[in-house]
Amino acid sequence: MRGRQRSRVLQRQRAQRRGKRAEWLCVWHLRLRGWRIVARGWRCPAGELDIVAKRGGILAIIEVKSRDELAVAAAALPPRQRRRVTRATEAFLNAHPQFASATLRFDLMLVVRHRLPQHQRDAWRADS
């Protein structure tokens, strides 16, 4: 493997490890606040859902973003990815009809080093 290609592979591996740590931190943050984790890393052909959590009558689809700066993390969810998450959510609800009556909400959790995760509730709508 050439130097530049190897460097890209190592960067990707570091990003994946960082993402897994961020998701783990968010799961514990949510659990401590009374959320029940329904699914993590749920995949289908339409896309992936980082975290699906339920509390009361709310089913939250939570996208996790980990970056060096909070503003960069907040801007890291482009419309195309939101649409992908929305399509994956439709597939999830089709596969898990027991959640059909829950109020659906799309949340964003931002993770920055040396800080607790920031939970942005109702970060976007499925129709946007």
Q: Which two tokens stand for residue 27?
A: 């799961």
What is the rounded CA–CA span in Å between residue 26 and residue 99? Answer: 21
pLDDT tens for each residue of 85-100:
999 999 999 999 999 8
118: CB partners within 8 A, 6+ apart = 70, 109, 110, 111, 112
pLDDT of residue 6: 80
45: CB partners within 8 A, 6+ apart = 91
Question: Which structural domains are found in the chain, ordered by start?
Answer: 3-124 (3.40.1350.10)
Cβ contact 61:104 at 8 Å: yes
The pLDDT confidence band at residue 106, using thresholds 50, 70 and 90, is very high
Q: Position 82: which residue type?
A: R
Using the predicted structure, report yes or no on whether residue 83 has a pLDDT greater than 60.
yes
What is the rounded CA–CA span in Å between residue 74 and residue 69? Answer: 9
Using the predicted structure, report yes or no on whether residue 128 has a pLDDT greater than 70.
no
| Pure H helices in the chain | 3-32, 70-74, 79-95
pLDDT of residue 87: 95
Phi/psi region, residue 59 (left: phi>0; alpha: psi -120 to 50; beta: rest), is: beta
